[in-house]
Homo-oligomer: A and B are copies of this chain.
Amino acid sequence: MSNQIFFTPGPAQTFYTFEQHLKTAIKEDIPSISHRSKTFQDIFASTTENLKTLFDLPDGYHVYFTASATEVWERIAQNLINHSSHHFVNGSFSRRFYDITKAYQLNASAEEAAPGGSFSLNVPEEAELVAVAQNETSIGFNFPDKEIYQVAENKNSDALLAVDMGSCAPVVPIDFSRIDTAYFSVQKSFGLPAGLGVWIVNDRCLEKAAQKEKDGHITGSYHRLSQLQKYAAKHQTPETPNVLGIYLLGKVAQDMLYRGVKQLRNETIYKSAILYQTMKELSWISPFIEEEQYRSKTVGVGKLNGVSATEIIEQVKAKKLVLGQGYGPFKEEHLRIANFPTHSKEQMEMLVDLLATL
């Protein structure tokens, strides 16, 4: 690694043990092993076990690997929705899932709030699947867990609840027994190279997908849910997957377990507090999200006042710290600052001290 520290929200700073695990992987020929070998089955089993522990998954929840969280949106549209889904949209990523269901010609509905705005939490009766972004990375919005559970109450009891955990897994807790499926990409809070997504589903999802398949609908091919499950049952994947990525994810998840999820969460809260406190104290930046409960703990977004994002990013980069630009229309108006498990308290303190001198 260079001597830069990335505070970009994804791709992000690699996890502090990444380089060591990568070296071991190369030494152990992980890129060359067969995805049908016992060695791979052991890696698959260990990575999924570590994730199950990390997320405290109840029985009847399964872990699969895709190429990205973007792919999971598509697989959900293909496998878990026959007619209609409902989406809470207040940023670019929640919108993209909504758009994908429309590309699959599903009768999707959405409650659209202003960027970073909150929601009524009402759900149409006919929605078979409800989609919530726990952390809307584009504008740093946190969907509070209590509100997610309220959505769970409000929806039709047959409906499935899907949670996008992108850039907040595993440090923002969620009770999996109240949701049906969740997913994330590894290049955000896990600090790994992009090219791997994780899809967690429960038995209700498997049943829904099996019924859709049985009814003669197209549900995809190699990554239809029934195929993912068939291979996962023997600790394999349907196709040659990103073996190296699965290996590295298992190692980083293990390191997070060694450290303790509670510890990671406490550190996240501390680092987030000093970040937002700094934004509040400075004249040229303020937290974009007004209400504290809706502010993301893992991606702090600041609204700029009288300066452009490019200007600030250039100044900070001279000190070897890399910040994220605003997303889409907010490119020059926002700064996005990741607060991931790999960022130490000292690094975040160094960053806020620097911001205070600008």
- Write the residues of chain A forming the contact surface with B, with a CB cutoff of 8 angstroms: 1-2, 4, 6, 8, 10-14, 18-19, 22, 26-35, 66-68, 70-71, 73-74, 77, 99-100, 103-105, 185, 187, 192-196, 218, 220-222, 224, 238-245, 322, 324
* Beyond A30-B193, A68-B239, A195-B195, 17 extra complex contacts between A and B, CB < 8 Å: A1-B26, A4-B29, A4-B32, A11-B33, A11-B35, A31-B193, A34-B324, A67-B67, A67-B195, A68-B241, A73-B221, A73-B222, A74-B221, A103-B218, A103-B220, A104-B221, A195-B245
Nearest residue in B to A25 (C-beta to C-beta)?
B193
Complex A-B: 15 CB contacts under 8 Å: A6-B32, A8-B32, A11-B31, A11-B33, A14-B31, A14-B32, A67-B68, A68-B239, A70-B222, A74-B221, A185-B240, A194-B240, A194-B242, A194-B243, A195-B196
In angstroms, how far is the closest chain B Cβ from the Cβ of A30? 8
Partner of A192, one of B6, B12, B31, B73: B31
Chain B residue contacts of A242, Cβ below 8 A: 67, 193-195, 242
The residue that A104 contacts in the complex, of B12, B35, B71, B218, with Cβ under 8 A, is B218
Given A12-B32, A31-B193, A32-B8: A187 touches B240 (CB 8 Å cut-off): yes
Q: In the complex, which of the residues B19, B28, B192, B241 contacts A2, with contact meaning CB atoms closer than 8 Å?
A: B28
Chain B residue nearest to A222 in the complex (CB): B70
Give the contacting residue for A241; candidates B10, B74, B195, B238; CB below 8 A.
Answer: B195
A26 in contact with B22 (CB, 8 Å): yes
In contact, B244 and A195 (Cβ under 8 angstroms): yes
Residues on B with C-beta less than 8 A from A27 are 1-2
Contact of A222 among B2, B19, B100, B193 (CB under 8 A): B100
Contact of A29 among B1, B35, B244 (CB under 8 A): B1
CB within 8 Å for A29 and B10 given contacts A100-B222, A104-B218, A224-B103: no
Name A35's contact: one of B194, B224, B239 (CB within 8 Å): B194
User: In the complex the two chains form, what is the Cα distance from A33 to B32 in whole Å?
Assistant: 26
Query: Which 3 residue pairs across A and B have the least CB separation, nearest first?
Result: A195-B242, A67-B67, A31-B193
- A53 CA to B245 CA, complexed, in Å: 29
In the bound complex, how far is the Cα of B74 from the Cα of A340, in angstroms? 35
Residues A8 and B34 in contact, CB atoms below 8 Å apart: yes
B29 touches A221 (CB 8 A): no
Are A221's CB and B103's CB within 8 A?
A: yes
B contact residues around A224 at 8 Å (CB): 103
Q: Which residues of B contact A238 (CB under 8 A)?
A: 70
**Nearest CB to that of A216 among chain B residues?**
B105
Query: Which residues does chain B contribute within 8 Å of A22, judged by CB atoms?
Result: 22, 26
Query: Please, how many angstroms separate the alpha-carbon atoms of A66 and B242 in the complex?
Result: 12
Report whether A239 and B70 are in contact in the complex, using a CB–CB cutoff of 8 Å: yes
> Are A74 and B222 interface neighbours, CB within 8 A?
yes
> Which of A31, A73, A100, A240 has the most CB atoms of chain B within a 10 A radius of its CB?
A31
Contacts of A105 in B (CB 8 A): 218
Question: How far is the CB of A293 from the nearest CB of chain B, in Å?
Answer: 28
Minimum CB–CB distance for A74 against chain B, Å: 5
A194 to B30, CA, bound (A): 10
CB-CB under 8 A from A19, the residues of chain B are: 26
